[in-house]
Structure 1
Amino acid sequence: MKIQKELKLNTQNIKPRVEREIQPFLHRLKKKNYVEGIVLLGGLARRNFLDEYSDVDIALFYKTNTPKKYFLPFEFHINLNGKRYEFNIHQLIYEDGTTKEWDEGTKEAYLQCKVYFERDKKISKLIRLKTKFDSEGAYKRLIWIMEQYVWRGEIHSIRTCRRGYPEGSHDLLNECIDLLIEAIYILNKRFRPHKKWRIAMLTTMDVLPNNFFQDLRDAMYIKGFALKDVNKRIEALNKVYFEILKIVFQLYPDFPKDPYIYYYKNFFQPNRDTFSQKIKAKYSGLLSKDELEQLEGLLCFNLISNTKNIQKFFPKDKQKLYDNRKKPQNGIEYTK
């Protein structure tokens, strides 16, 4: 998805001036017969904003891999009409671009790019192919993020602090911020840009949690290293998490209620529906959560994979309970 909303920054936009200044350089590049295409990146493209701190990012696609022809370094500096510019020249061999995998930052950069010149349409075609959003992979990643947030944010951070390392707790919570920001990009079907733009570009998103930036600031603030300071950040992060969760269920009504169990059953276990999990599901309405966990643990620890000898492993005071309780509504019978 391309940028729809304008990015607002406090610095002055000097893009029109930069575009004028670099035209001679671009025209000289077009005349080189080994240049297959010229692509403008960053502020020269759809971000549409360059300021005094910006680099001039240009990608050159070459026909063949003959390095001696390509005399430009990645970075060079020049003064043009009293203004010093830093040029970053991203040089790619077209054939390599068709076979190599692009990372997420590269995908976002080229998704928002502007093709200045190409000898035919194959550069544009390549960019469209490489920047296609993988909805299935993103959905799987979203499940992982939502289940990992709980462990890293609400469980591991507390345990780490109690073990005497509050620095580790804050580090985990910083990681949770990154995870929640990634979730927002996924919900907007966008790739994450370079880290320096990751938060700023959230202002261009159509889908954003309520009160996001204030809650984000609260979650970033580290007052101290006591458990109460860790809990304060968790409280702020949870506001963001639950707002994101609301959006998730609006966009994906069938999103798993327990992402953790869903993830490890579908992506970690060779067998998605083990015998112990079937038994646990069978008695889910009849036993307490603690009893269900004990039952599953008993089956797993004793490597019980069928019903043949299941009764002899049950505690005697529970055998009558399992025998007398009514049959579950699904009526599933599990056999060897």
Structure 2
Amino acid sequence: MLRAVLDDYVARLAEKPEVAGVVILGGLARTGSRRFVDRTSDLDVSCFLSLPVPPELLRLHIRDFLVHVQPYLPSWVPNFKFLVPGSFSGLDWDVPLNNHQHVLEYEIQEHVQWDWHALEMYANGSEVVYDPTGDVAKLIAQKLETGRIEQREAVIRLLAFGRVLAKDTAGQCVARGHHAVAHDVLNEVLREVTTAWYALSDRFAPFVKWRIANLPSLDWAPPDAADRYAEAVRVSANDAAEVRRRQGIILAFIDEIETRCRATDPDWPQDIYSYAVNRVFWNRQLRARTVADMLPEVVGLHQDDKMRVERWDEFNWLLRSEKDLRS
């Protein structure tokens, strides 16, 4: 019923000479993994246009590209979101339709990266229904392959910084009497925890309304993940005891994720924090190995242990150089 409505719209898009490809997204995509629609569902479609855009525009950031591409857009291009009136669909309700719109020549540029939500949308819930040249399918495959790097980095960010947030930062908030803020910090970490669960199954985390519902489809998740998540997300009081209760659940999740990583990836970095500040957090540290790290007494130590070595801290504080190692 809903698919027939969407097919009618897709057929009219495909008749437009500027349309290079059309992709059905969400629960109506026959090749997707979601396969769920009901009366409350939106219809989602992605339309790729091929336009004679000057090369200099293709190098712009998206916000500037959208400003300068306006004269090249055909006048029939619709709004992103609108209602399909029942008088057209034959249904007894008006169905929301989301028409995602792209310029193919811009999207294929290497500097154009799709965000996590877009990657998940095309990886888990998409069906290419019109693609006469094959360029749209090729584009999607390229973007997904590039995005796989983000999956591993999402786990690294969690293990390098999530434990600090959940334990130390939330603890600081409690010490200051800011219990609601501590809960907010924990909510942020918990979201990253669920993202890591999907990443460890080589999946992009879906939109938030599907994130927990789709846990049974994962190749790996902690035991009773959904039930424990429900306990972790629940906030019954703005006090220190409730923060500590939630901290315990979330920190246990992080420990399980780290154990899983070390058991399944032989190249997993031993010192996850040091690895992250060099390879993931690009605005943290320039030198891969500092002079302080060359001190004999810290060789082989992790970040937390290095910080307990006074001479290591001293070398950083006094901005020692390599010549100071020999003195």
TM-score under structure 2 normalisation?
Answer: 0.80
Deviations 1:253-277 (A, max 9, x none): 3423432233235563322222322
C-alpha separation between the residues in 1 aligned to 2:141 and 2:306? 52
Q: State the 1:246 CA deviation.
A: 1.9
Give the structure 2 partner of residue 331 of structure 1: none
In the alignment, structure 1 segments of 5+ residues that lack a partner are 1-16, 309-333
User: Which of 99, 105, 108 matches 2:117?
Assistant: 105
The residue aligned with 1:330 is none
Q: Report the more deviating stretch, 224-233 or 67-76.
A: 67-76
What are the superposed Cα offsets for residues 51-106 of structure 1, whole Å, 9 maximum, x if unpaired? 11111111122222643432422222211232431111122222122123221111
RMSD: 2.6
Q: 1:149 aligned to 141, 155, 162, which one?
A: 162
Counterpart of 1:76 in structure 2 is: 82
Task: Report the more deviating stretch, 147-156 or 203-212.
Answer: 203-212
Corresponding residue number in structure 2 for 1:221: 234
Change in 2 beyond 3 A, CA 1:186/1:273:
same
Cα distance in structure 1, aligned partners of 2:98 and 2:24: 11
> Does the Cα contact within 8 Å between 2:170 and 2:185 map onto a contact in 1?
yes
Which of the residues 46, 50, 58 maps onto 1:59? 46
In structure 2, relative to structure 1, the CA distance for the partners of 1:63 and 1:264 (3 Å cut) is: closer
Work out the CA distance in 2 between the residues paired with 1:122 and 1:101: 17
Structure 2 partner of 1:200: 213
Q: How far has the Cα of 1:216 moved from its partner?
A: 0.8
Q: Is the 8 A contact 2:306 2:312 kept in 1?
A: no
Give the deviation of 1:245 after TM superposition.
1.7
Structure 1 residues 67 and 232, CA gap change in structure 2 (3 angstroms): same
Please give the alpha-carbon distance, in whole angstroms, between the structure 2 residues aligned to 1:132 and 1:200: 25
Q: Distance in 1 between matches of 2:267 and 2:47?
A: 44
Identity, % of aligned positions: 24
Map 1:1-336; keep pairs closer than 5 Å: 17-45=1-29, 46=32, 47-64=34-51, 66-77=72-83, 78-79=85-86, 80-99=90-109, 100-111=112-123, 112-264=125-277, 268-279=284-295, 281=297, 292-306=308-322, 335=326
> What amino acid maps onto 2:7 in structure 1?
Q
1:291 shift after superposition: 9.5
Q: How far 1:163 sits from its partner (Å)?
A: 0.8
TM-aligned CA distance change 1:165 to 1:75, over 3 Å: same
Q: Say if 2:46 and 2:101, in contact at 8 Å, map to a contact too.
A: yes
Once residues 298 and 49 of structure 2 are traced to their aligned partners in structure 1, the CA distance between those partners, rounded to angstroms, is: 62
Secondary structure of 2:222's counterpart equals coil
What is the rounded CA distance, in whole Å, between the counterparts of 2:156 and 2:296 in structure 1? 23
Q: CA 1:246–1:302 in 2, change beyond 3 Å: closer, same or farther? A: closer
Question: Which stretch shows the higher mean deviation, 35-44 or 65-74?
Answer: 65-74
For residues 283-319 of structure 1, give each alpha carbon's deviation from its aligned partner in whole angstroms, at most 9, with x where no partner exists.
879xxx69952222233334443576xxxxxxxxxxx
Structure 2 residue matching 1:200: 3-state secondary structure? coil
Deviates most, 236-245 or 168-177: 236-245
Letter of the 2:95 counterpart: Y
- Provide Cα deviations, 1:145-193, integer angstroms capped at 9, x if missing partner: 1021111001110111111111110011001101111211221222233
Question: Which residue type is aligned with residue 123 of structure 1?
Answer: V
- Structure 2 unpaired stretches of 5+: 52-68
Separation in structure 2 between the aligned mates of residue 191 and residue 290 of structure 1, nearest angstrom: 34
Instruction: State whether residues 75 and 88 of structure 1, in contact with CA within 8 Å, keep that contact through their aligned partners in structure 2.
Output: yes
Give the structure-1-normalised TM-score. Answer: 0.78
Distance in 1, matches of 2:5 and 2:319, equals 73
TM-aligned CA deviation for residue 26 of structure 1: 2.8
